[in-house]
Chains A and B, each alone.
Chain A
């Protein structure tokens, strides 16, 4: 059984976390998950698709967490009015993550080869796979941003058989890591050039 299937109906228990923390996490996931969904389709990767599913399940859990935390934080009618808006925003982020899940379900329904790249490879922001050469071994992801462009974003790192999704900025790169990077075409070219050309 897939991990996300196992986690899908896991019991949700209250955890002492702040509304701010949970909402931030939901907003961040709602953004990275859509990009990962495009990446999954673009690279026809069931592994990335699996991570999208996991994040989708995690969003469901976070939604419950937030609801519980908000209920406990509500003392006055003013609180209730103001926090209703917060819950509405959080629900919307959860709906966005469902859309990402729908996008990766494209992989399951058809197909030997991905059909969509022609669209996803156009547009201002695109997604690319780039390999890390020996020369930048040990570099942190944030240093790569400083070196090349603030506009790029490392969505995921593939190291051997392992995937790291939405990696921390201070993660150190290793030789032969493969990076899933989003950004404008020009910037991605620069990343490729900086990392020595080969994908």
Chain B
């Protein structure tokens, strides 16, 4: 990837975070998992802070003659739109944070969707065991994106390419429903929705 300007690099991360938050929010409901819901809440707070910083940066670029007013407005608009998506994720996670039961129809809808959410526990024999996400290239092979990994009591949200998968990890992924079975089989054991594993 070529060198990006600071504002672009941070905006890109901002965008990816907003998308990650929506998936995490759905996951928190599907797995009745407060830890994930709280993470969405934390990420939303961070996003608010980053929104301010990015808007300031966009304006400063104009002041320093590095950008035009039009361009800055476009950035600010986009930052705002992405923040709205982050807020929407927080609204979804809110249901879990308030400990409300969601009607099973929600799970059915996710199952019917063009993109579903699935989770598996990595087995010792899995070919994923001991490999980094970069080596596995799951988006390419299964269309599956890893949203989060639970390792012992520790969570890794939106793991980077260098993160290594090991036996016992609980991985949550989003992707096409018709690849789910193949993906879970290669990973190990499926984690059913709403059965939190501790």
Contact = CB atoms under 8 A, between A and B. Distances in A.
Contact of A96 (B4, B12, B88, B144): B88
Interface string A185-198: 01100000000000
Nearest to B86: A99
A95 B87 contact: yes
A118 B67 CA distance: 14
Interface string A99-133: 11011011001110001101100111100000000
Interface in A134-192: 149-153, 183-184, 186-187
A8 interface: no
A105 B103 CA distance: 35
Contacts of B16: 123-124
Nearest to B84: A99
B193 to A, nearest CB: 14
A28 interface: yes
B114 interface: yes
Contact of A118 (B4, B87, B178): B4
Interface string B110-123: 10111100000000
Contact of A106 (B74, B87, B179): B74
Interface stretch (B41-49, B94-102, B148-156, B162-170): B94-102
B105 A186 contact: no
Contacts of B12: 119, 122-123
B110 A88 contact: no
A129 B14 CA distance: 25
A105 B144 CA distance: 31
Contacts of A100: 81
Among A84, A88, A99, A122, the one with the most B-chain Cβ atoms within 10 Å of its Cβ is A99
Contact size range, A: 35 or more
Interface string B72-109: 01100110111011011101101100001111111011
Nearest to B103: A82
B139 A95 contact: no
A128 to B, nearest CB: 15
Of the candidates A89, A118, A186, the one having the most CB atoms from chain B within 10 angstroms of its own CB is A89
Contact of B140 (A19, A20, A79, A187): A187
B84 A102 contact: yes
Contact of A83 (B4, B82, B91, B103): B103
A83 B109 CA distance: 13
Interface in A51-95: 79, 81-86, 88-89, 91-93, 95
Nearest to B72: A115
A176 to B, nearest CB: 26
Interface of A: 18-20, 23-24, 27-28, 31-32, 34, 79, 81-86, 88-89, 91-93, 95-96, 98-100, 102-103, 105-106, 109-111, 115-116, 118-119, 122-125, 149-153, 183-184, 186-187
Given A82-B103, A110-B70, A184-B139, 11 more contacts: A81-B101, A86-B103, A89-B95, A95-B85, A102-B80, A105-B77, A109-B73, A123-B12, A124-B16, A150-B142, A151-B175
13 contacts: A24-B113, A28-B113, A79-B103, A86-B105, A88-B91, A89-B106, A92-B92, A95-B85, A105-B77, A110-B73, A124-B139, A150-B175, A153-B114
